[in-house]
Every structure is written in structure tokens, then in C-alpha cells.
Structure 1
Amino acid sequence: MPIVLLVQAPAPETQKIEALIKAIEALQGQALFLRNGSEHDAKAAGDHLRLKWKNAGKRVQSAADFIRYCGTGSSLSGQPYRIRYKDGREVTSADFLWTELKRLDPSIK
């Protein structure tokens, strides 16, 4: 009897979270990620967000949870994460991620 391996497709929410992180990483060369008073490039920001997501465990059940628990600010300092574009304009990572999530899923208000 042959062995059949069933591979479960990633949940749509997991795909959305990964898309949000990739949107941050796509800013490489265009913006810096500001965290706890330090500047980080987009790749480092993506790595950090994936680590926070992993450490959050079951608290993150949706892309919205990811934004709330992982993408908005430092759990150590309480400071919000910010994105600074080359032109000097800054936005909070929360605003960036919510805008991106609404683009990915127009049913989110």
C-alpha cells in the first residue's frame, strides 16, 4: 500500500500575514523601519516581524491579530513602530499595515 502524504494548504490568514510582511520587505531601499530608537532596513524589519509572529503563538489567529500584537509597536518599550520614507515622510507601521490589509481584503473596513 503506497504512503500518501497530505499537505495542508496555508490558511488564508497565514497568507495575508505573510503578504503584509512582504509588503514591508518590498520597501527595501525606499524606507527605513524605526524600532526602539533604531533604524532598520526592510529585510531586518521583515525578519523581526516574523520572529514576533512566531513568538506570539496562538494569540495571532488572523491578519488583524498580527497587526495588533506584532506589527504596531515594541512590547519592550511600548513605542510604536514607524516607517520613514526617503523623502522624510513617516507613517506608523500600524497605518501602513492596515492600509495594506484593506488592499488585500476589501471586505475589511
Structure 2
Amino acid sequence: MTAFSLAASIVQFVGFAKELCSDGYTIYKSGKDLSASNANIEDRLLHVQDLEGSVRASAANTYPVLSENELKLQTLAKECQDLTVLKDLKVTSQGLRRVVAAAISSIRSRQKAKEV
């Protein structure tokens, strides 16, 4: 029973390590700063911030008070302003250091998935 438990643990660890290496390799080969999913999230957050800015600018010119939907958008944009989690996951190194940074980014991405 102990041997079976040990073998199952080893298989689980190898599977997890394979996923991390695959994610790190994808980041490394893509030439981008973030994994595809994190880059997509960052793009959406920036889009919400842009929308809020344009709503605020148009509301300042035409309406004295923001509507309920505009206030909701403004609140959402304020929540999206904190992009530090995604900035911590970016890979900015080049060459051999990029390989190590991509692996570390993959591990951090898993650790901070809930926060992202």
C-alpha cells in the first residue's frame, strides 16, 4: 500500500512538473511578457479602464451627474486599476535568463491564480 501511495505521489508530481514546464516553455517561445491567458486578462482590464475614461470624459461634457450604469463602470474600472499582480508575472529577461524567468513566472502564475 505504501509503495502504491508513493508511486501515485510521484506520478502526480511528474504531471504537475510537466504542466509547469509546458507553461514556462510557452511563455519563453511566445516572446511575450505574459502567458496567453494572463495577457488576455490584462487586455480586458485595460479595455475596461479605457471605457471608463471615455465615459467619464463624455459625461463631464454632457451630463452633470453620472448614470447608474456609468457609476458601475467607474467602480469596475477602479477595481481593475491594480495590475500589479500581472506586472509581477511578466518576463522581461532575455537569453538564458528568460528561460529561468519563464519557469518562475509559470510557478508564480499558478500560485496567484486566485488573485488574478
Return the TM-score normalized by structure 1. 0.33
Q: Which has the larger radius of gyration?
A: 2
Return the TM-score normalized by structure 2. 0.31
Larger helix share, 1 or 2: 2
Larger strand share, 1 or 2: 1
